[in-house]
Structure 1
Amino acid sequence: MAILTATKLHYDIVGSFLRPNAIKQARADFAAKKIDQEQLTAVEDEAIRDLVAKEIDAGLKIVTDGEFRRSYWHLDTFWGFSGIAHTYADHGYLFHDEETRNDSAQVVGKIAFDPEHNDLKAFKFLNELVQDQPGIIARQSIPSPAQFYAELVRGVENEEALHKYYPDHAELVHDIGQAYHDLILALYDAGCRDVKLDDCTWGMVVDSDFWQEMTNGEFDRDALQNIYLELNNAAIEDLPEDLRISTHICRGNYHSTWAAKGGYAPVASHLFAQEKVDAFYLEFDDERSGDFAPLAEVPAGTQVVLGLVTSKRPELEQKETLIKRINEATQYVPLENLSLSTQCGFASTEEGNQLTEQQQWDKIRLVVDTAQEVWGD
């Protein structure tokens, strides 16, 4: 049912939503030890119930919990694995105009799935809200295995810790793949039929300037792509046929700014042609994303979700412009295999992008309305 719903509908979302004030206040109170975990969870529960009702009211058929239980789109998942510690780096992530908080994840033992993983608990709550509503699918988004690897080698201290426990690369790939595979199967057993892998690694590797600065010119794009592809495919092999696996490729989304630029051409032969997913959710909201030509590498039958509506800026796009761009993309992917979405989530971290909740919902309704006009959904 998940695969049918996802491919029949031609409008979608990436998944994160602006945090309501109640959650922001509860998190601040929790950090100050004014409330306990149970009280924080109760506030999150109520906010998620309200969000899901708004998603359904907006016409969405695939819904998320807005990532309301997370601080980051990726690190919270990493911290949920055995063998990983919540650490702090010398610097945060460097974006175009800002530097993020400096949280990180570091290896402190062998990596494995923890049955008490926070993402599994989060999905179970979300699924309970919608499992009796016909035609509504609960999606769980998790950061990709490649993104996990990228964090474990971010900075000298992380690299040294990784090599202490994993001097053998093959063992590392196996353990990351197994941990993810076990998490995905646990989600499946809990009723999940739609898992999206969020992934900034490909969005960074296309940017030669970014990597020249990061590696002092010692940059082997093919070698990195081979590692990313190996990790991601290892995690998603031998999964149930009725489980839809997709991936969202991003160039950074923090407080309405970005981390990398460049079209998909440098990674198309690896990412599009060889990653074994059912759908690609792709940024195409401005010139940083390049043109549609690399989509020629997407295998026949694979879905491409065009992120043409930006989540970074409040200005509402013109429907006519969106339709024109969708038609341009049909030069490379048949219309029936295309869909429309926002380019990213609205709050990849709890800081959120610089727009209002009303502007957020206006963007989503534009996506739905445009798709209904193009595809007749």
Structure 2
Amino acid sequence: MSILHPPFRYDYVGSFLRPAELKKARADFERGAITAEALKAVEDRCITELVRRQQALGYQTITDGEFRRATWHLDFMWGFEGIGHRPTQTGLPFHDEAALIDDTFLTGKIRLAGEHPFVDHFRFVKALEDDRTVAKQTIPAPAQTLAQFWMPFNLETTKAFYTTEEALAADIADAYIAVLHQLYDAGCRNVQLDDCTWGMLADASAPEFFGTAPEGLADVQQAYKDINNAVIAGAPEGMVINSHVCRGNYHSTFASSGAYDPVADVLFGEENVNAYYLEFDDERSGSFAPLAKVSGGKQVVLGLITTKRPELENKADVIARIHEAAAYIPLDRLALSPQCGFASCEIGNKLTEEEQWAKLKLVKDIAEEVWGK
């Protein structure tokens, strides 16, 4: 796979709508009607078919669609010792809807005990690679895990085990680095860190989210950048690490809004990822001007095709926006993708599977027109 260097000119974030067969199997398992082995057999079958369609459409990235997860981020955290969860009673406040995902909290010190479950998930996808495709492993960014346990809603519980944010960050970083080495040993060379923290920091309500005065947000940005960079620095040599910056994605709703301007200096200038997958599908993302802050030779994958609505974008309009972005960062450092996953949580967004595939075909068609085949 040495000739494949992600990101590619057309790509996607990672999650796909769960097929009806998979949703039924998971519901059957949760009510005790089928075994874990039977559920895994359905997952394996659905993932194999998903990858076949990804490859048939011509994408060079393959993923398992996050089919073995309930959510894009929490399932990964549950793979560490010291983290517990239970069904939520209230949900997280998204625009017009509460996101009903498990409450997740500390039960002890965070550490990796044995092999993380996601490593075996990756092995399954790795075995489906061919000479034109490379498997991508998506996980929540270290900053996302730090935020989960140091934001006001969880802080009282966390402080039973960690008296300082620095001590918590150190244990999270150690656990993440250990997972990256396990993934590397399983053949993984393409990791995507999914990160909603920067979208929250760009929101007008950021001081309330993070429990600080507006001037305190600078320290929060530094802490999140530092933990991401610490993990990237500890990753195995030859592992490509990219980041997807999100504003929330649950049942076609969102959690935060705001242009990248307030976070651009730190996120784009100082975070040491290879590339950024960035949301630019509506006015909540602001202008392309902050892309001028993307340092070095880092690449940007423009999320110009929305996963939140089924309607197909106008090809000419998307191409015009790509060239608008190229006024701030060279066209050769740009690529195209949907703005987020199609099902960051098991419930999925409000479109059909065929509408999902039509979006992906449009991404490919546009990319080939702009950059060539």
- The answer on whether the counterparts of 2:146 and 2:168 sit within 8 Å (CA) in structure 1 is no
Give ranges in structure 2 of 5+ residues lacking alignment: none
Give distance in 2, aligned partners of 1:200 and 1:362: 26
What is the RMSD computed on CA atoms of the aligned residues?
A: 1.6
- The answer on whether the counterparts of 1:2 and 1:193 sit within 8 Å (CA) in structure 2 is no
SS in 1 for 2:104: strand
1:145 matched to 2:139? The reply is: no
Residues 174-323 of structure 1 mapped to structure 2, 5 A cutoff = 174-208=170-204, 210-214=205-209, 218-219=213-214, 220-323=216-319
Give distance in 2, aligned partners of 1:88 and 1:235: 30
Instruction: Please tell me the residue identity of whatever aligns with 1:37.
Output: A
SS in 2 for 1:175: helix
Instruction: Please tell me the residue identity of whatever aligns with 1:211.
Output: A
Instruction: Please tell me the residue identity of whatever aligns with 2:340.
Output: C
Instruction: Please tell me the residue identity of whatever aligns with 1:137.
Output: V
Give the match for residue 345 of structure 1.
Answer: 341
- The answer on whether the counterparts of 1:2 and 1:194 sit within 8 Å (CA) in structure 2 is no
Give distance in 1, aligned partners of 2:285 and 2:138: 22
Give the match for residue 160 of structure 2.
Answer: 164
Give the match for residue 99 of structure 1.
Answer: 98
How has the CA–CA distance of structure 1 residues 331 and 351 changed in structure 2, closer, same or farther, with 3 Å as cutoff? same
Give the match for residue 132 of structure 2.
Answer: 135
SS in 2 for 1:252: coil
Give the match for residue 28 of structure 1.
Answer: 27
- The answer on whether the counterparts of 1:104 and 1:151 sit within 8 Å (CA) in structure 2 is no
How has the CA–CA distance of structure 1 residues 122 and 340 changed in structure 2, closer, same or farther, with 3 Å as cutoff? same
Structure 1, 213-222 or 106-115: larger mean CA deviation? 213-222
SS in 2 for 1:295: helix
Q: TM-score, normalised by structure 2?
A: 0.96
Q: What do residues 179-202 of structure 1 show as CA deviations (whole Å, max 9, x unaligned)?
A: 011111110110000000000000
Q: State the Cα distance separating 1:154 from its structure 2 match.
A: 4.4
- The answer on whether the counterparts of 2:207 and 2:217 sit within 8 Å (CA) in structure 1 is no
- The answer on whether the counterparts of 1:91 and 1:102 sit within 8 Å (CA) in structure 2 is no
- The answer on whether the counterparts of 1:5 and 1:135 sit within 8 Å (CA) in structure 2 is no
Q: What do residues 141-189 of structure 1 show as CA deviations (whole Å, max 9, x unaligned)?
A: 0001111111113454x31221111113332121110101111111011
- The answer on whether the counterparts of 2:151 and 2:211 sit within 8 Å (CA) in structure 1 is no
Give distance in 2, aligned partners of 1:328 and 1:363: 21
Instruction: Please tell me the residue identity of whatever aligns with 2:143.
Output: A
Structure 1, 42-51 or 167-176: larger mean CA deviation? 167-176
SS in 2 for 1:94: strand
Give the match for residue 59 of structure 1.
Answer: 58
Give distance in 1, aligned partners of 2:150 and 2:127: 37
Give distance in 2, aligned partners of 1:102 and 1:206: 23
SS in 1 for 2:160: helix
Q: State the Cα distance separating 1:313 from its structure 2 match.
A: 0.4
Give ranges in structure 1 of 5+ residues lacking alignment: none
Give distance in 1, aligned partners of 2:211 and 2:16: 36
Residues 66-145 of structure 1 mapped to structure 2, 5 A cutoff = 66-130=65-129, 133-145=130-142
SS in 1 for 2:99: coil
Q: TM-score, normalised by structure 1?
A: 0.95
Q: What do residues 110-137 of structure 1 show as CA deviations (whole Å, max 9, x unaligned)?
A: 211233322111101111122xx10210
Q: State the Cα distance separating 1:333 from its structure 2 match.
A: 1.1
Among 341, 355, 362, which residue is 1:359 paired with? 355
How has the CA–CA distance of structure 1 residues 2 and 139 changed in structure 2, closer, same or farther, with 3 Å as cutoff? farther
- The answer on whether the counterparts of 2:71 and 2:101 sit within 8 Å (CA) in structure 1 is no
Give distance in 1, aligned partners of 2:243 and 2:309: 23
Structure 1, 359-368 or 240-249: larger mean CA deviation? 240-249
Give distance in 2, aligned partners of 1:288 and 1:48: 33
Give distance in 2, aligned partners of 1:271 and 1:150: 16
Q: State the Cα distance separating 1:215 from its structure 2 match.
A: 6.0
How has the CA–CA distance of structure 1 residues 147 and 3 changed in structure 2, closer, same or farther, with 3 Å as cutoff? farther
Q: State the Cα distance separating 1:89 from its structure 2 match.
A: 4.8
- The answer on whether the counterparts of 1:75 and 1:104 sit within 8 Å (CA) in structure 2 is no
